[in-house]
Structure 1
Amino acid sequence: MPVTSVRTALPRRAHAHQRGRVRLGAVAALLVLTVGLGVAYWLISQPPRVERRPPPEVPPPVVDVIEVIRGPAAPQIHGYGRVQAERETHLSSRVAGRLESFAPGVIPGRVVEAGEPLLSIDDRDYRLALRAAEADLARAQAELASERGEQLRAQSEYQSFGRELPAERRALVLREPQLRAAEAGVAAAQVALEQAELDLARTQLTSPYRAMIQERLVGSGSEISAGTELLHLVDVAHFWVQLSLPGEALAWIDAGQANGAAASGAEVHLTSRGWPAGAERHGRILSVLPALDEGGLQTQLLVQVDDPLALDSDGPALRLGDLLRAEVIASPRDDLFALPAQALRPGDEVWRLDDEDRLRRARVEVLHRGEDQVLISTGLEAGERIVVSNLGQPRDGMRLRPRTLGSTELAALLDSAAEDES
């Protein structure tokens, strides 16, 4: 009986202990959930804390500046012009005949010296005409000699007559009209002989000056008449460049003497796209033409270039019709400021920097406006720093960081502007 009671009580206690453990786990889980919800609510309910910092200071823009100086300055005057011949000749025949042949060196593009033979015309007829003229002259001279003998005889007879006759009758008796006729016959024969010699000489044509053969206008064997054009020659001593410039440029250059024997005006540097890099030729302004260019906006000048084909000197050769870029050396004026063209702002203003590196606007008086350079007479002081860079939103008084350009950088800046222009 006691044994049975013990066996029944043990399972009941184990079951009760197990139920207690389950209840404790549930309470612990509920407690963890409650704490988690409380922490989440606290995190959600708290506003975010953002640490406020002052914005970083924006550095001032970097600009290129130059220090201006006052002194003699001249504008850079550029223009374009066409090459043309100073003198060209269409050589014509003075006599008729058959063109036998051209001289061996008479080829288009070749240079011939002054007096050099160019071509020959069949001269047989003219040699015969010369012989006939020589015979006529001999006959006339013989008739004159005979008539002078007759005059001496008539004069002897008149003196033996011992009587004075009136002047008219005495002239007839002394055969003075016959003598004058014989003398005229000799003179006419002499003229005919000289003409025959001249015609014979004209069958051989020579170059009137040192020239280049531009074109042969007829072929060998052609029958030609007097006045037929045979050769086109171009003088190689000088070429002209007909240059177009703005009218205001004349105030800065020496235009030379229109009636001068030689070019005495301003020096001109000439370049061409077809020449090697750095190659140029020099010329001088000869005169100013009376008419404007076809557009009626620019003045035309003549520039003379010596030895244009570089036959006696080094350098590129000029070709007729070529378009050349010209830089005219202008006469400088005192007390001017020379600035790159990009330094001039709309409204004839420049941007300068004060002692605190702040931008200040200054109005100036522009004396010359060029594509790559401007000349200013008033509105600046020597030593001021002028901004040559562009700014997106310039404001008066804004702070800038200057970078002073040296002479080499400034020259490169002007060169780049000149290249853009060309």
Structure 2
Amino acid sequence: MKNLKDGLKSYLVAAGILVGAVVLASILVSLSPEPERRELPPRIPFVQSAQVAPGAGAIPVYGAGTVRPSAEIDITSQVSGRVDWMNPSFHSGGRIKAGDTIFRIEREDYQYRLREAMADLEDRKVALLEARELAAVARTEYEQYSGRQRESGSTVTQASPLVLREPQLKAAQAALKREEAKVAEARLALARTSVKASFDGYVREKSVDIGQFLTVGQVVGRLFAADAVEVVLPLSDSNTALIPGLWELQAGDAKRRVNARVIARYADAHYAWDGYVDRAEVSLDKQTRTIDVIVRVPEPFSAGTPVDSQEHTSQPPPLLVGKFVEVEIEGLTPESYFRIPRLALQPGNEVWVIRDGQRVGIVPVQVLQRGDNEIFVTGALEEGQAVVTGGIQFATEGMRVRSRDAVEQ
């Protein structure tokens, strides 16, 4: 009986503690401050945007290519012999002017041949004089003979050419011309012992030294022109359509020029040279299916003009052959077009404009040119109009958005 009372007493104590804890917790909860209520943010997406800029002037046509010489030739000898002199500038990278002697072959053998040919010519001149005198004597004798025949009443027979020595005279004349040709040939061979530059240029390769024996036609180096270089630009047909009068250009006609600017990077700086579109190939590249447009740059080895305004410690470089460069051609000038950021152009050539400060409008555009950071288009756009450049992956007509540019408008 006593154990039963003790168990009941323990149960009542535990129940009391539990009830007290519940009451205390209720009091604490009722006395705590209510949490601050915040409204949920609106579910209208926030987008990045930029403004439409009006286009002005010519639309640039961009391309890239490698600088190559406008003319390049093999340096060869037209006569054989031992090299006895070379131009000090005849080394790779050396500058040689038009008409300067590049190297010279020993002249003695060719001088002897010229003297021998001139001596033979003098002999033929004497032989021709003798032939003329003999022909004149033969004609005189024939005329005297025919005169006596007529006086005697006999028939005068026509003299044959051999009697009058006409073939012998023609043979002497032909022999003289032959010797004159040999003298001219000997003089030409002597002149060719001095190999001269056909144009102002730079030496690309050199493979000959003094004392080396050369044969006719042996290549001993290469020389490329210094007055101009070319850059071949593979362009699509849509880009070539923006070059004014491209198919009317004639190679070498700088008067009908389409201006271009060639930009090359050296170290940490960019330099530019002025050029022009010289011509275009009339066939497509078999692999890329592009059209090769050739830009010509006069005086390429003068110092380039820095593109940026920062000061550079290094001396401005020339436009080196083999350098990969970027080219900007002055294209057509439409009456009206717009410039938009590259990110503003959506798939399907669409632009998402922001109207009334908060709703999206989908505007189809025609792309005229794509630049590195901007695109030139035509379409139902307005100057200063906000266009979506990021923040959403898709849009529908009339969709509500928020943007800083739209709010500022």
Shift of 1:157: 2.2
Go from structure 1 to structure 2 and tell me whether the alpha carbon gap of 1:354 and 1:182 turns closer, same or farther (over 3 Å shift). closer
Q: Which residue of 2 aligns with 1:398?
A: 401
Residue number in structure 2 paired with 1:282: 274
Corresponding letter in the other structure for 1:216: K
Match of 2:252 in 1: 261
Tell me which residue corresponds to 1:101.
Answer: 85
How far apart, CA to CA, are the structure 2 residues paired with 1:313 and 1:175?
79
After superposition, residues 35-74 of structure 1 pair within 5 angstroms as 42-46=23-27, 47-48=29-30, 50-51=33-34, 53-55=36-38, 61=46, 63-69=48-54, 72=56
SS at match of 1:272: strand
Task: Give SS of 1:252's match.
Answer: coil
Unmatched runs of 5 consecutive residues or more in structure 1: 1-35, 406-422
State the AA in 2 paired with 1:197: R
Alignment partner for residue 154 of structure 1, among 125, 135, 138? Answer: 138
Matching residue's letter, 1:331: L
Q: 1:300 deviation in Å? A: 1.8
For 1:302, the aligned partner's letter is: I
Q: Which amino acid aligns with 1:236?
A: A
Between Structure 1 and Structure 2, which shows a larger proportion of helix residues? 1
Q: Count how many residue pairs are aligned between Structure 1 and Structure 2.
A: 368
Q: Residues of 1 paired with 2:304 and 2:67: CA distance?
A: 19
Residue type of the partner of 1:339?
I
* Structure 2 segments unaligned to the other structure (5+ residues): 1-16, 151-155, 307-315
Partner of 2:328: 327
1:341 aligns with 2:324: no
CA 1:158–1:363 in 2, change beyond 3 Å: closer, same or farther?
A: same
Secondary structure of the residue that 2:170 maps to in structure 1?
A: helix
TM-score (norm 1): 0.76
Aligned partner of 2:381 in structure 1 is 380
| More displaced 10-residue stretch of structure 1: 287-296 or 114-123 | 287-296
Structure 1 residues 290-301: aligned runs within 5 Å: 290-293=282-285, 295-301=287-293
CA distance in 2 between counterparts of 1:381 and 1:105 reads 62
- Which has more radius of gyration? 1
Whole-Å separation in 2 of the counterparts to 1:322 and 1:391: 42
Counterpart of 1:179 (choices 153, 169, 174) is 169
Structure 2: which amino acid aligns with 1:108?
S
* Structure 2: distance between partners of 1:57 and 1:239: 66
Residue identity opposite 1:155 in structure 2: R
For the Cα contact (< 8 Å) 1:96–1:225, is it kept in 2?
A: yes
Render the CA deviation track for 1:310-364: whole Å, top value 9, x for unaligned: 2899963222222111222221212222211112234544343333x31323232
Retained in 1: the 8 A contact 2:201–2:223?
Answer: yes
Partners of 1:150 and 1:205 in 2: CA distance: 47
Query: The residue matched to 2:335 in structure 1 has which SS?
Result: strand
Q: Is the 8 A contact 2:49 2:405 kept in 1?
A: yes
Q: For the residues of structure 2 that align with 1:45 and 1:381, how far apart are their CA atoms?
A: 65
Among 116, 135, 141, the alignment partner of 1:132 is 116
After TM superposition, the score normalised by the length of structure 2 is 0.78
Change (3 A) 1:134 1:45: closer
Give the superposed CA RMSD: 3.3
1:222 to 2:212 alignment: yes
Q: Which amino acid aligns with 1:82?
A: T
